[in-house]
Structure 1
């Protein structure tokens, strides 16, 4: 049962993840302005990491969102969609934090959890849980 009424968890999570991507993009823009770099990273380590954090989040987020919507389409149960979405979001936040010198282990755990959740989502789509 969807606790949100007519709003599907997949759509809600897609909107939340989009906000996360906008925040990462805004950070890239902030650093570009601060360091006066128009293209590339201009040799600036912080900008390079911000660009990669944003790009990596897009690289994993776009296919995950499509798959999450597919899971909704094939009627995967709401609890599965909810928990996979939350786990993916947490994994991506950990990975991004690890890119910003919070700690390499955050990045490692975030990357590993991302892959596990992506595979789990593929499994529940095929398995029709």
Structure 2
């Protein structure tokens, strides 16, 4: 089986998202060690925020990556895969930064949600387009 340029594009975004998830996981571990909390959040706001930043990413990233991968398999252009992968990545990173800095609403969180939803909607529409013969 030949690896297509679209598959290479999807591989890039899957790899970058895995690194993002790993970084967010490390931030949780660091907060746990700093505050001596083994399970839960120990009532520590910074740990709660780190846990939610990681948790929120794990709620959105896998489904987005499945969409990108299926688009690549369906023959979508590498440019489309890159645009959607980039939007999802920037959205998730911005949201994580915003949530890690404050539990309140913030510009990075808002930008993150909007970019994530745009990536989701555009990926869904593209998948439906590619599904129609």
TM-score, normalization: structure 2? Answer: 0.88
Residue by residue, what CA displacement relative to the aligned partner does 1:38-88 show, whole Å, maximum 9, x if unpaired? 011000000000000001001100111111110011111111001110111
Unaligned runs of 5+ in 2: none
Q: Which moved more, 1:103-112 or 1:55-64?
A: 103-112
Greater relative CO (CA pairs within 8 A, separation 6+): 2
Tell me how far 1:7 sits from its aligned partner.
5.9
Distance change in 2, residues 1:64/1:105 (3 Å): same
Tell me how far 1:12 sits from its aligned partner.
1.4
Equivalent residue pairs, number: 126
Which residue does 2:120 correspond to in 1? 118
Distance change in 2, residues 1:123/1:86 (3 Å): same
Report the secondary structure of 1:76's partner residue. Answer: coil
Report the secondary structure of 1:56's partner residue. Answer: helix
Report the secondary structure of 2:101's partner residue. Answer: coil
Q: Which moved more, 1:18-27 or 1:95-104?
A: 95-104
Distance change in 2, residues 1:5/1:79 (3 Å): closer
Which residue does 2:106 correspond to in 1? 104
